[in-house]
Amino acid sequence: MPMNSLDFDRDPLFNPKDTRIVVAMSGGVDSSVAAALMVEAGFDVIGMTLQLYDQGMALGKKGACCAGQDIYDARRVCDKLAIPHYVLDYESRFSQAVIEDFADSYLRGETPIPCVRCNQQVKFKDLLTTARDLEAKALVTGHYVQRLVGKDQENKGRGELHRAVDPTRDQSYFLFATTQAQLDFLRFPLGGMPKAETRQHALRFGLEIADKPDSQDICFVPNGSYVNVLEKLRPGALEAGDIVHVDGRVLGRHKGIISYTIGQRKGLGIGGGEALYVIRLDPTRHRVVVGPYEALARTEIWVKDVNWLGDGDPLGEEPDPLTCEVKVRSTRESVRATVTRAVATGGGSRARVAFAVPEYGVAPGQACVFYQGTRVLGGGWIEREE
C-alpha cells in the first residue's frame, strides 16, 4: 500500500514503524483487511473493538453477549497479525447516544439512521479521543469512502471526504456529520477498491473471516425486527390510531405509527382499491396519513444541524444559494438542488433545500447530504413537516 494513501509521507522524517495507527475493528472483513494493510505497510498498529450494546436486551435473552462472535473474530485477526487488541466497553454511552435517540425518533414520527449517530457520537468522537490518548497519528476504519487531500493553496493538506470508487459500496452518505477536525485524523484505506478486491486481500492475508458475510441489519436490531426492540425500549409505544386519507376519510386502524415509514405501500392493511402510500405520520394524534403516489412529491425540505465540509462557508450569514447535488436516502441517486441557509430559532444551523425536480418519499429523520461531484460538502437532518 503506497504511503501517500494515508498522507503521512509528506514529512521527510516519516517512518511507518514509528507511526502508530489505531484501527477500529468490528470483526468483519472490511475492518480486518484495513488492519492487515496497515501492518503490511509497516505501521505500529493497535486493533480496537467497541462493545456497544447488550444483545440480550434486543433478543430478550438473558446473558446474551454484545456481538460476542464479532469480538472473538476481531481478536483472532489481531492474533494472526501479531498486533495488540483492546475491547472498550462503551455500552452505556452507546445506549444514551444511539439507542435512546433511535427510539425517541420513531416516536416523533421520524425514520432514524442510528449508524450515523454512532459514527457521530461514539466512533468518531470517543474512539478518536482514545486513539489520540494512545499517541496515534490516525484512526483507520473499514468504511468505503475516500479521504483526499486538498492541493490548492487555500486547502493544501486539508482532508476532503469523497465517495468511494465503487458506487455499490459507497458509505459517504453515512459520514456526512464527520467534522473537519475528525476527518483530518481519520483514514479510509478501502475507499479506492471494490469489495471483491477487499475479500481477495483477506484471502491473501490468510484471514479466517475472508468469507464472513456482511451484516445487513442495524447491530442492535437483530433480524430487522425494530418494532420488537422499540416495544422493549418504550413499553406502550404501539398505540393504535386511525389510517386517514389525505382527503380526510378514515380508511382503517393501525396498531402503532412506529410500524410505518414514509413512502410505504405494502402492509397498510386497508384492503384493495387505489394504490396508496404513507404520506406522513402524525405522532400527536397517532394517525397514519395515506394517499396517492403524487402526494409524496416534495419540491423543498428543511434540514437542521447542518455540518459543512466544503471550502469556505457558503451557508454563512448572508450567503448566495448553493447549487449542488443532494441525496435524501442512502439508496437514492443524488439529484440537483439549491441549498440556502436560514438561522434557526434558538440557534443552530438550518437550511432550505429546493429540488430542481420534485422528490418522492422524503422521510424526516433521514439525512440530506450535499455533494459536488464525488466530494461530500456536508449535510443535515430532514425535519418533519407539521
Q: Which of the residues are catalytic?
A: 118, 219
Cα 115 to Cα 65: distance, rounded to the nearest angstrom: 20
In degrees rounded to 5, what are phi and psi of residue 340? -130, 130
Q: Which three cell numbers stand for residue 382?
A: 430532514
- Listed residue (284, 275, 243) closest to 260, CA to CA: 243
Cα 36 to Cα 105: distance, rounded to the nearest angstrom: 38
Query: Taking the CA of residue 378 as centre, how many other CA atoms within 13 Å lie in the half-sphere pointing to its CB?
Result: 23
- Residue 80: partners with Cβ closer than 8 Å, 6 or more residues away: 205, 206, 207, 208
* Angle made by CA atoms 211, 53, 70, in degrees to the nearest 5: 20
Contact by Cβ (8 Å): 278, 259: no
What is the residue type of 276?
Answer: L
Cα 251 to Cα 271: distance, rounded to the nearest angstrom: 9
Contact by Cβ (8 Å): 352, 385: no
- Listed residue (139, 199, 124) closest to 166, CA to CA: 199
Query: 3-class DSSP state for residue 357?
Result: strand
Q: Which helix (H) or strand (E) holds 379?
A: strand 375-382
Contact by Cβ (8 Å): 258, 240: no
Could you give the dihedral angle defined by the CA atoms of residues 273, 279, 281 and 287, in that order, rounded to the nearest 10 degrees?
A: -30
Q: Which three cell numbers stand for residue 17?
A: 514503524
- Residue 119: partners with Cβ closer than 8 Å, 6 or more residues away: 174, 175, 177, 178
Q: Which three cell numbers stand for residue 31?
A: 475492518
What is the residue type of 199?
Answer: R
The count of residues in the chain is 386
